[in-house]
Amino acid sequence: MSEVWKPSVTVAAVIERDGRFLMVEEHSAGGLRINQPAGHLEPGESLIAAAVREALEESAHVFSPTALVGTYLSRNVSSSRGGMSVTYLRFAFAGTVGEQLQRPLDDGIVRTLWMTREELAASAARHRSPLVLRCVDDYLRGQRAPLELVHTDPSAVGDLPDH
């Protein structure tokens, strides 16, 4: 076998306040979609640091992760990648945020929304993936794991050596 298969690693922030969840409305190849503040793990970054960074970039909120809600493996056909099938490995973190900071949102993010579970379910056709509602439902079921289960070896973070 000459190919190396690698799923795209992503993180998501599941943030609830007063029965509503912090979501973002974003442009995607499939149109305007709803998602948690989420994105790709970057080289030299821990999963927790990636979740904090993505939440800040996409929602302008400082996110403080408190637990791992779950890990999720999914696959979809990407119209932006010429119909290629892409597998995603998502790590969803629960946590808290303060007030929204005065800073621009990441490219492609239109706005932030605070939505109830019912509003999310009613807008399922506009979700970035089926994992959006699944993560919220897992959170509402009380699914939490301590952050200590998410270990990052020091060799994985910081500046990466040149090859």
Per-residue tens of pLDDT for the chain, all 163 residues: 456 678 999 999 999 999 999 999 999 888 999 999 999 999 999 999 999 999 999 999 999 999 999 999 998 866 655 667 889 999 999 999 988 999 999 999 999 999 999 999 999 999 999 999 999 999 999 999 999 999 999 999 977 666 5
Residue 158: what pLDDT?
Answer: 79
Residue 88: Cβ-neighbour burial (10 angstroms; 0-12, 13-18, 19+): middle
Helices in 33-162 by DSSP H: which ranges?
47-59, 117-122, 131-140
Residue 1: what pLDDT?
Answer: 45
Q: Check residue 108 and report its DSSP letter.
A: T
- For residues 17-51, one letter each, b for 16 or more C-beta atoms within 10 angstroms of the residue's C-beta and e for the rest, the string is eeeebbbbbbeeeeeebbbbbbbebeeebbbbbbb
Residue 84: what pLDDT?
Answer: 77
CA distance 12 to 93: 6
Residue 86: what pLDDT?
Answer: 87
Residue 4: what pLDDT?
Answer: 67
